[in-house]
Structure 1
Amino acid sequence: MMLSFRIAIILSLLTAGSKSFAQSIQIKIEDSKNKTPLSSAVVLAENSDKKQFVGITGEDGTCTIDVSLPCFVTVHYLGYPDVHTQLHSSDTTIILTSLENSLNEVVITGEYNINTSDKSVYNVRVLDSKQIEAKQSSTLADLLNTQLNIRLNQDNILGTGISINGLSGQNVKILIDGVPVIGRENGNINLSQILLNDVERIEIIEGPASVMYGTDAIGGLINIITKQNSPSKVELTLNSLYETDGRYNIDGNAFFKMGSDHFSANGGRYFFDGFSNPDTARWQEWKPYEQHFLGVEYGLKSQHTDAQFKLKYFHETTQNKGVAILTPYEAYAFDEYYLTDRYDASWIQSVRLTRNLKIDFTNAYSNYSRIRNTYRKDLVALTQELVPLSSMQDSSLFQQFVFRGNFSRILPVKKINFMFGYDVNLENGRGEKLLDEKQSLNDYALFMSAQLKLNRFTLRPSLRGGFNSRYDEPLIPAFNLVFNPDDSWAIRTGYSRGFRAPSLKELDLLFVDVNHNIHGNPDLKAEDSHHFVFSADYNQRIEKSVVHLGSSLSFNSIHNVITLAQTDASSNFYTYINIDKYRTISGALEISYGYQPFSFGSGFSLTALYNSLSETNDKVPIFSYSPEWNLNTTFEWKKLNAMMNIQLKVTGTTFGYALDDSSNVYQTQIASYSMLDANITKNILKKRIIATLGGKNLLNVQDIKSTGVAGVHSADTGSIPNSTGRFIYINLALKIFKQ
């Protein structure tokens, strides 16, 4: 009898132990603002034996996992910071705070995982969807024209270029969802071809990001992040825009959520009628263009994998109508048509191996082509025929394959996390202006970094090494540190080495006609730079108000700068050489304040630009200084469902020095100018209709006065094109959504 009693006790204890070892726990995930359940959230649980279990929340925001208690849980949901907590109860609700409602912004560029801006080792500027909508920006050029430390330059054939902290666009890398944008003309990506109709936010790193992203990132990096989620199961949007300077835009977006997967599509047509002041019969200073675009995306989400497959197409036709030639017998003109096509395909995937280990893959193909056709237009019969001269026709095609992957440990509670990966870029080009009409450039690189947390210090040393098929690629180190003395402060310092590879055009250009004798140089070295930065940011929430103070100081020194130089005057022979060095120093102060319904922000920067002639001429100063100041303010009338936005940027005079034909030094100058934009937005029927009335360039700045400065398609005429002038616009957006 006693033996049977003992056996029963042992069996009951074993049964109880087995239940405690593996029991079902229910976890509910909710949003902190409105307590709504969050579906498709990934929940990773780890027991004391380090065994891991994964669940995905359903429509009610709950999931059930068989795991023993206590357990350590990580919750991952797009648009929210990861939550790490230990559970002791079998029925738990975990509250997530959207990064839109947090004091600091979400960043992913250069990070191991989704992070907040105060914890990032980089000083990342974030332009979120609210800022894009407030400014009513259709293109990247529209959005950036009032940003501090960013300057745009206009070429009426090649489009809109950029400089950051005094470094030109050939040193600025542009990514879309981590994939490099190709198709540089005169070193610049045309920002007017980067459309924002499906963009969620934009992240900007000022300074080199070459360790992780390779070439062309000496001056900075712009990562454009597209929309990949919606609070609604179905969301349809139609946007239309009219501007009084002759722009007519229409585009649409569709988003469908299918369980944990999603499908989205977007497309549209943007048209510009051209503009001249004064108006002329044919020739126009601002060339008319027409853009068509289409994109689709399919996203997959499972317990361990997030993946997106994207296809995009873009086409632009730009017209350059010639001046009419009139004779007693005929009337004709020579018209140029520039045809640009972009095809992009990408597969982006993130695989969680365990709760704290993941692998990210990016595989992409990009195709860029540009054709110039010149026609002789009969202005009487209204017919045209292609001019049979090779010098008046041109075509080029560039293709790029990108294979990128990285393995990382991403657990924030660990003192040491790490990342290492590979980056392969295969580029080839074809065209009449390339040597042998076909060239290629292949780059293979490995990179690694470690992130160490020591109390309130976060240190990240990084290193990149690679092999290039055409030149010697330098070893690229970087060291970044961020100190958070409390939750309000983020103090950063760092050193980065950067590089810019010679482009295919600089290596293999062959442009010889009656007016040109330009040759590439296959012996070019890569430009390399040294960058030092210090910044301090303060963010504080005081009751219902938010205060931000920021300051930064950076120094760039670039060597082996590639420049086009005349090496034989008798034959007018030009080629690219490594000769110049260049330096910039930039400092900035920023302040912003928000107290519903009002927000205000302002900043001042001063950039020092290096004068290379100072090395040989004592009268030339080492640096020339150029200031900037910007202001933006927003006011919301919640009762009227309306918002007013005003943005102003003042760009100071830019001085430089050059040599005339007699080798005498003279000063160049680009005059100061101001850009002012304002609009009022009204939400109707719970944001199903959004109407905006606004004005851009309200101070009517058209051409900027200059002395001794000429562009690629403009002579030294005493002015540089900046804008078509003051114009009014109306934007109407219609939204249909199903919760």
Structure 2
Amino acid sequence: MKLVFTLFFLFITGTAIVFAQSKGRVAGKVLTSDGKPADAICILVDGRQAALTQYNGSYNLSVPEGNHQLAFSFMNNVQQQQSITVTAGKTLTLPNITLKETAFQLNDVIVTGQFEPQSVKNSVYQVRTINNERIRLRGASNIQQVLNTELGVRFANDLTLGTTDINLMGVSGQRVKILLDGTPLLDRGDTRESLGQIDVNMIEKIEIVEGPMSVMYGTDALGGVINLITKKAATGNNSLLVGVRVQEESAGKQYDTFNKSGTHNASLNLKWQNKGWNAGADVSRNNFGGWKPGNGLQPWLPKNQWLANATAGYANQKFKVWYRINATDEDIISDGAINASTNVSKDQKFITHRYMHELQGNTRLSDALSFNFAASYTDYSRRTQTTEFNHATGTRFLTATASEQAVAKFDNTFIRGIAQYKISEHVNLQPGFEVNLTGSTGDRILGTPTINDYSFFASSEIALGKFSLRPGFRVIHNSVYDAPPVIPSFNAKVALSPTLDLRVAYAYGYRSPALRELYFNFFDASHSIIGNPNLKAEYSNSYNGTLSWQLLNQQTIKLRSVVGGFYNQFHNFIGTAFDASNGSITTYLNIDRYKTVGGTMENTLTYKNLQATLGFYYTGRYNQLKNEDPTIPQLSWSPEVNSNIAYTITQWKTSVALFYKYTGKRPSYEYINNAGTTTIQRASVSAFNTADFSVNKIINRTLTLNGGIRNVFNVTRVNNTSQDSGGAHSTGGAVPVGYGRSFFLGFNYQFSK
């Protein structure tokens, strides 16, 4: 497989040389609104960073001959854009650019699920975006910290295994598809731990699409899609970017400089481009020393993580191809209690290795026809290493129990090809195919199972005046399960007025069980789980609609409001329950049905240097036990409120930001057994508040400082009144949320030429 990727890459890049082209130059100056030179302004050509302005606001960069889109952006200032035409061997001098002091750009360009990049306003999908500026303002050391105050997003932490799962629209795990530049990430189990194994420093922006996307992205996309879009190579002649980021953070009140207690992050990235060729490399070290609440226990386990990637590619106006390898080396350390009589502790280390090869490209064969190609191969392993350590002699040796030295290996081959054909000015057609091959082996895996998916899909976008329609379908052949004959979807957008848009959608979702749910057996002190090879595939029907209003043609104030609702009905929903033959073991079972219903309201206000958002999310989850007791309500409701506020002090080159979320009480119903009598009781997870505060200061065109407070309200655990505690997948007791109020300080150095 590695040889196939290498040969294909050499063939593509070799044929790309025929597209090489001449260069011209573009020069000018950027000013602030008060007429002063604006240094350290980011200049983008066709959406890719090309250079930064000098101390006097000037720029002079090399650009390929032809038509391009030039854009200028600084911190929270809205991008100024204009079209340019470059002639080979000549310099195009542009008039002075004056940046408007506004804090937010409402017209984000999105790519997830689109025929071609387009604005949020023009898309038939309702897509939420988190741009690079917001990621930078947060001072995040991982992607979870970027997402934890987003509406509809909740995280669940397994402190025994050191993993975190994500919940979107009331569903979690394998029903939420995680993509890296549109390519799916492989997870070993029913949680999305891959989200914590991608370097946040390489992410340009994050796009979130709620609701089934099974037509476009296949199985596992029932609850929605989270697409992590990486920073691309700079453009320009012989350009070089070097970036260094170092950040130190406490874990609550616990901190040691650069090592042990606290969080210690360091990253280095390089990007080079010359005559259409580009190359880059990123490497990050993330060290978390764990956290002890003061009672001698360490519920948050220490984690050492190395993340690296290397990229090479070629691009011009008609053709682009690139290859990237992503590597993860992660150790999670769980030291056991010391036996007082023997002075020996039994310690565990969870060792993860992930290698993901990606090859992507696109070519424009004509003004009407283009083709996109993506392929990846992922080799993933997680090993449990158990040792006994003698604290008196300092000796350590592996334990003899085979289950305490278990290794699970997974591999995935993914290939997707999509053609974009513009039939007319009003009709676009998008046919495509997809191959997804997954296999696994290991001590806890029954045999060497594989699941293979082969799909053909097509959609068409029809623009008829104020109406945009997008019907689509997917046909799947699964090697294990009989997929539905056709998986359909339908999206529509109506421009009710220049400022008001209505979007409605229906989608059919389908998910075949994951290998872990079928064949994975896992036993330790806190987990007793067996797979169920008799599981049925899940399917769902989803309906959603949004009404978007945007205030236009205002120079100093911008306002956008989105009101929406959704209804999801799942059949053969896979959940966990105790094995009927052994009440101490948990297995996976098909629940007859499950529903989520909800509504959302999001508002964004921009006034000069201020950006403020206020959102509300209300989710109802189906109570399965209603079938046993008609007095139980069909749905249990839980609210969320969030607000993000950012303000830029332009003359100080400083931004301050506050990210806040209220996560409301989440009720549920469960069976309890009291003195041999089984009854139903109401349980709930308590509400809590979370907030992060940050300050970012640009020192000069190369150096930025950032600092702030994480988990302002010092939340560590919230109470769960469930009596299901002490077993596998138990929900009762204190639910871990964080490790207390923490402080961070760091710097980001970037050099370019």
State the TM-score, normalizing by the size of structure 2: 0.84
Provide the C-alpha distance between the structure 2 equivalents of 1:481 and 1:92, rounded to a whole number of angstroms: 45
> Quick one: which amino acid aligns to residue 637 of structure 1?
I
Listed one character per residue, the Cα deviations across residues 678-729 of structure 1 (whole Å, up to 9, x for unaligned) are: 011111013x111112001111000111111558778666211110000111
2:240 is matched with 234
Using the aligned pairs only, state the percent identity.
28
Deviates most, 657-666 or 564-573: 564-573
Go from structure 1 to structure 2 and tell me whether the alpha carbon gap of 1:515 and 1:682 turns closer, same or farther (over 3 Å shift): closer
> Quick one: which amino acid aligns to residue 456 of structure 1?
K
Deviates most, 229-238 or 627-636: 229-238
RMSD between aligned residues: 3.3
1:732 deviates by 1.0
2:140 is matched with 137
Match of 1:679 among 694, 697, 717: 694
Provide the C-alpha distance between the structure 2 equivalents of 1:36 and 1:388, rounded to a whole number of angstroms: 58
1:618 deviates by 1.6
Go from structure 1 to structure 2 and tell me whether the alpha carbon gap of 1:551 and 1:184 turns closer, same or farther (over 3 Å shift): farther
> Quick one: which amino acid aligns to residue 239 of structure 1?
R
What is the 5 A alignment of 1:590-605?
590-605=602-617
Go from structure 1 to structure 2 and tell me whether the alpha carbon gap of 1:29 and 1:388 turns closer, same or farther (over 3 Å shift): same
1:49 is matched with none
1:260 deviates by 2.0
> Quick one: which amino acid aligns to residue 65 of structure 2?
C
Listed one character per residue, the Cα deviations across residues 130-159 of structure 1 (whole Å, up to 9, x for unaligned) are: 010111112111101111111111111242
1:333 is matched with 345
1:689 is matched with 703
2:164 is matched with 160
1:85 deviates by 13
1:552 is matched with 564
Provide the C-alpha distance between the structure 1 equivalents of 2:585 and 2:147, rounded to a whole number of angstroms: 38
1:337 deviates by 0.4
Bigger relative contact order, structure 1 or 2 (CA pairs below 8 A, ≥6 apart): 2
1:374 is matched with 386
1:698 is matched with 712
> Quick one: which amino acid aligns to residue 120 of structure 1?
S
Match of 1:554, SS state, is strand
Q: Is the 8 A contact 1:637 1:643 kept in 2?
A: yes
1:466 deviates by 1.0
Go from structure 1 to structure 2 and tell me whether the alpha carbon gap of 1:198 and 1:92 turns closer, same or farther (over 3 Å shift): closer
Match of 1:243 among 246, 249, 274: 249
Deviates most, 154-163 or 692-701: 154-163
1:178 deviates by 1.1
Match of 1:276 among 272, 289, 292: 292
Provide the C-alpha distance between the structure 2 equivalents of 1:84 and 1:407, rounded to a whole number of angstroms: 27
1:194 is matched with 198
> Quick one: which amino acid aligns to residue 136 of structure 2?
E
1:489 is matched with 500
Listed one character per residue, the Cα deviations across residues 241-294 of structure 1 (whole Å, up to 9, x for unaligned) are: 1111111110111111212222111002110111111152xx411100100121
Go from structure 1 to structure 2 and tell me whether the alpha carbon gap of 1:171 and 1:128 turns closer, same or farther (over 3 Å shift): same
Provide the C-alpha distance between the structure 1 equivalents of 2:265 and 2:337, rounded to a whole number of angstroms: 28
Unaligned runs of 5+ in 1: 1-25, 43-57, 65-73
Q: Is the 8 A contact 1:40 1:260 kept in 2?
A: no
What is the 5 A alignment of 1:29-108?
61=63, 63=65, 103-108=106-111
Provide the C-alpha distance between the structure 2 equivalents of 1:263 and 1:612, rounded to a whole number of angstroms: 53
Match of 2:174, SS state, is helix
> Quick one: which amino acid aligns to residue 488 of structure 2?
P
Provide the C-alpha distance between the structure 1 equivalents of 2:555 and 2:578, rounded to a whole number of angstroms: 64
Q: Is the 8 A contact 1:369 1:397 kept in 2?
A: yes
Deviates most, 197-206 or 186-195: 186-195
Q: Is the 8 A contact 1:546 1:594 kept in 2?
A: yes
Q: Is the 8 A contact 1:670 1:707 kept in 2?
A: yes
Verify: 1:615 aligned to 2:615, yes or no: no
Unaligned runs of 5+ in 2: 1-22, 32-40, 49-59, 73-78, 252-261
Go from structure 1 to structure 2 and tell me whether the alpha carbon gap of 1:580 and 1:654 turns closer, same or farther (over 3 Å shift): same
Go from structure 1 to structure 2 and tell me whether the alpha carbon gap of 1:346 and 1:430 turns closer, same or farther (over 3 Å shift): same
Provide the C-alpha distance between the structure 2 equivalents of 1:595 and 1:110, rounded to a whole number of angstroms: 31
Provide the C-alpha distance between the structure 2 equivalents of 1:263 and 1:209, rounded to a whole number of angstroms: 32
Deviates most, 112-121 or 706-715: 706-715
> Quick one: which amino acid aligns to residue 107 of structure 2?
N
2:333 is matched with 319
> Quick one: which amino acid aligns to residue 643 of structure 1?
S
Provide the C-alpha distance between the structure 1 equivalents of 2:343 and 2:585, rounded to a whole number of angstroms: 37
> Quick one: which amino acid aligns to residue 557 of structure 2?
S
Match of 1:310 among 324, 331, 338: 324
Go from structure 1 to structure 2 and tell me whether the alpha carbon gap of 1:143 and 1:40 turns closer, same or farther (over 3 Å shift): closer
From the CA coordinates, give the structure whose radius of gyration is larger: 1
Deviates most, 420-429 or 592-601: 592-601
1:520 deviates by 3.1
Deviates most, 500-509 or 568-577: 568-577
Match of 2:746 among 725, 731, 734: 731
1:635 is matched with 647
Match of 2:134, SS state, is helix
Provide the C-alpha distance between the structure 2 equivalents of 1:82 and 1:429, rounded to a whole number of angstroms: 49
Go from structure 1 to structure 2 and tell me whether the alpha carbon gap of 1:269 and 1:36 turns closer, same or farther (over 3 Å shift): closer
Q: Is the 8 A contact 2:338 2:345 kept in 1?
A: yes
Provide the C-alpha distance between the structure 1 equivalents of 2:196 and 2:490, rounded to a whole number of angstroms: 34
What is the 5 A alignment of 1:380-529?
380-410=392-422, 414-436=425-447, 438-474=448-484, 475-511=486-522, 519-529=530-540
Provide the C-alpha distance between the structure 1 equivalents of 2:209 and 2:591, rounded to a whole number of angstroms: 28
Go from structure 1 to structure 2 and tell me whether the alpha carbon gap of 1:197 and 1:113 turns closer, same or farther (over 3 Å shift): same
Provide the C-alpha distance between the structure 2 equivalents of 1:594 and 1:530, rounded to a whole number of angstroms: 37
1:169 deviates by 2.4
Provide the C-alpha distance between the structure 2 equivalents of 1:94 and 1:173, rounded to a whole number of angstroms: 46
Deviates most, 611-620 or 445-454: 611-620
Verify: 1:298 aligned to 2:312, yes or no: yes
> Quick one: which amino acid aligns to residue 477 of structure 2?
F
Go from structure 1 to structure 2 and tell me whether the alpha carbon gap of 1:595 and 1:511 turns closer, same or farther (over 3 Å shift): closer
